[in-house]
Amino acid sequence: MSRYRKKSTSVPEVSTASLPDIVFMLLFFFMTVTVMKDTVLKVDNVLPHATEVKKLEKKDRVISIHIGKPSSELREVLGSEPRIQLEDKFANVSEVGPFVLAKLAKMPEHIRPYVTISLKVDKKANMGIIDDVKEELRKVGALKINYTTYEGEVFRDR
Amino acid sequence: MGKRAEVPTVNAGSMADIAFLLLIFFLVTTTIETDAGLARMLPSTAKSPPVTIKHKNLLEVVINKDNELLVEGEEMPLHELRKTAIAFIDNAGEKDSCNYCKGEGLAESSDNPNAAVISVKNTRETTYEAYIAVQNELVAAYNELRNREGQRRFKQDYTAMEKAYTSSETDAETKQELKTKIKLLQDLYPLHIVEPKN
């Protein structure tokens, strides 16, 4: 009797032997989806907010151009006028066209018509420099652009 | 004697801890970047003959250097822009050319959505934030009208259709169907936002 009762009250332990497997699976997932940033930003880049956004789906069809004030460490040397950053170096407006063409040339031919230029512009930048960049892009025929923004209410931080 | 012959097993109990540690590291460092933004097409540089647009078919939006908004020469707070834009696009001054419009049909506003053009002018000193805010409101106006038409014709929002179309989970057949619907709605309310050069 006593033996019977003892057996019924003992709760079987949950086996944790498969826990490492589960964790490893998650680990590999995150390891594969992690993208280490390939460019170091040398400009301030706080994007504005917008609600009516479209996602930029395919990474290989996007060319990014960063525009903003030089970041605080570089401001003493370069001043606080907004600058253009292509890949990881500063550039003049006139270099935007050749940069885009060089990038396009590296891409396989069948995706070239679908390439989008993603303009990542700091919200404090003024439109002058952006108009100049847009004019450059028109000259080289890169007409599909995307003003990259954060998703969120426009009126939130105004 | 039998006990000594057994091979000692390595304790794998801490394996989970190590894996967790790595997992948390990658969790923290991962930023699944989803760039999103306002898509636009720049006008081509090819010389096209200048088009004359009737004054009533043009909504003039100006952002000055202090980021103030002027619509048709009058100052306007940003949150009213959407309403104004919708009223302008959907006006249907010529009732016959837009039977789906629900506007008031004012004589001094646009004839039909196809003829309606919104012109956005900015100075070089205008901040990017203000510019994007205005662009966003204008796109929102178009989206609202397209949503309304989408609901009426297909019982589905235009924005929802567009999202489904770009989603990778949608199968090819549905995509084809969505594409025609999206095209139709875009033709009903074509996006005419121009930026004149001064």
Locate A138 and state its tokens: 């028109």
Q: A136 and A112: one domain?
A: yes
pLDDT in tens, B7-24: 887 777 787 788 888 888
Say if B104 falls within a structural domain: yes
Chain B residues within 8 A of A123 when measuring between CB atoms = 127-129, 132
Tell me which chain B residue has its CA closest to the CA of residue A141.
Answer: B44
Q: A126 and A53: one domain?
A: yes
The answer to whether the beta carbons of residues B57 and B116 sit under 8 Å apart is: yes
When computed from its CA atoms, the radius of gyration of chain B, rounded to whole angstroms, is: 27
The answer to whether the CB atoms of B39 and A146 lie below 8 A apart is yes
For the segment B1-5, the average pLDDT, to the nearest whole number, is: 59
Closest CA to A66 of A50, A90, A48: A90
Q: Is B155 left (phi over 0), alpha (psi -120 to 50) or beta?
A: left
**What pLDDT, on a 0 to 100 scale, did the predictor assign at position B4?**
63
Chain B residues within 8 A of A147 when measuring between CB atoms = 37-38, 40, 132, 135
Domain of residue A75, residue span = 49-151
**What pLDDT, on a 0 to 100 scale, did the predictor assign at position A102?**
93
Residue A59 has pLDDT above 90, yes or no: no
For the segment B108-133, the average pLDDT, to the nearest whole number, is: 89
- Of the candidate ranges A101-110, B99-108, B127-136, B156-165, the one whose mean pLDDT is the lowest: B99-108
Q: A7 and A73: one domain?
A: no
Tell me which chain B residue has its CA closest to the CA of residue A123.
Answer: B129
Q: A62 and A140: one domain?
A: yes
Q: Residue B135 — pLDDT band, cuts 50, 70, 90?
A: very high
* b (16+ CB within 10 A) / e for B23-52: beebeeeeeeeebbbbbbebeeeeeeeeee
Residues 18-77 of B with CB under 8 A from A: 19-20, 22-23, 26-27, 29-45
Q: A93 and A122: one domain?
A: yes
Say if B71 falls within a structural domain: yes
Say if A41 falls within a structural domain: no
Residue A3 has pLDDT above 60, yes or no: no
Q: A81 and A123: one domain?
A: yes
- The count of structural domains within chain A is 2
Which is higher by pLDDT, A19 or A34?
Answer: A19
Q: What is d(CA A51, CA A47) in angstroms, rounded to the nearest whole number?
A: 13
Neighbours of A48 (CB within 10 A): 28
Residues 34-63 of A with CB under 8 A from B: 34-36, 48, 50-57, 62
pLDDT in tens, B52-77: 888 888 899 999 888 888 998 888 88
Q: A22 and A62: one domain?
A: no
Say if B177 falls within a structural domain: yes
Closest CA to A40 of A60, A70, A63, A62: A70
Say if B59 falls within a structural domain: yes
Chain B residues within 8 A of A142 when measuring between CB atoms = 42
Say if B1 falls within a structural domain: no
Chain A residues within 8 A of B22 when measuring between CB atoms = 27
CA angle A29, A33, A36 (to 5 degrees): 130
CA angle B102, B104, B106 (to 5 degrees): 135
Say if A38 falls within a structural domain: no
Q: Residue B136 — pLDDT band, cuts 50, 70, 90?
A: very high
Secondary structure, 3-state, B91-148: CCCCHHHCCCCCCCCCCCCCCCCCCCEEEEEECCCCEHHHHHHHHHHHHHHHHHHHHH
Say if B13 falls within a structural domain: no
Looking at every residue in chain B, the average pLDDT score rounds to 85
CA angle A22, A26, A27 (to 5 degrees): 110
Separation in Å, CA of B107 to nearest CA in chain A:
30
Residue B111 has pLDDT above 90, yes or no: no
ipTM exceeding the 0.90 mark: no
Say if B46 falls within a structural domain: no
Domain of residue B107, residue span = 55-194
Say if A134 falls within a structural domain: yes
**What pLDDT, on a 0 to 100 scale, did the predictor assign at position A35?**
67
The answer to whether the CB atoms of B127 and A147 lie below 8 A apart is no
The answer to whether the CB atoms of A30 and B78 lie below 8 A apart is no
Residue A133 has pLDDT above 90, yes or no: yes
Which is higher by pLDDT, A156 or B76?
Answer: B76
**What pLDDT, on a 0 to 100 scale, did the predictor assign at position A137?**
92
- In the chain, the amino acid numbered A81 is E
Q: Where are the beta strands (DSSP E) in A62-143?
A: 62-68, 83-86, 89-91, 116-121
Neighbours of B95 (CB within 10 A): 12
Separation in Å, CA of B106 to nearest CA in chain A:
28
Say if A44 falls within a structural domain: no
Q: A85 and A127: one domain?
A: yes
Q: A77 and A28: one domain?
A: no
Closest CA to B84 of B109, B52, B64, B101: B109
- Of the candidate ranges B39-43, B45-49, B186-190, B193-197, the one whose mean pLDDT is the lowest: B45-49
Separation in Å, CA of A6 to nearest CA in chain B:
29
pLDDT in tens, A106-120: 999 888 888 999 999
Q: A76 and A102: one domain?
A: yes
Residue A2 has pLDDT above 80, yes or no: no
Q: A16 and A92: one domain?
A: no
Locate B142 and state its tokens: 């178009």
Please list, in sequence order, all residues whose beta carbon lies within 8 angstroms of the beta carbon of residue B184, skipping any fewer than 6 positions away. Answer: B153
Share of chain A above pLDDT 90, in %: 27
Say if B166 falls within a structural domain: yes
- The count of structural domains within chain B is 1
Residue A14 has pLDDT above 50, yes or no: yes
Say if A43 falls within a structural domain: no
**What pLDDT, on a 0 to 100 scale, did the predictor assign at position A157?**
46
For the segment A64-70, the average pLDDT, to the nearest whole number, is: 91
Say if A96 falls within a structural domain: yes
Q: A101 and A65: one domain?
A: yes
The answer to whether the CB atoms of B37 and A53 lie below 8 A apart is yes
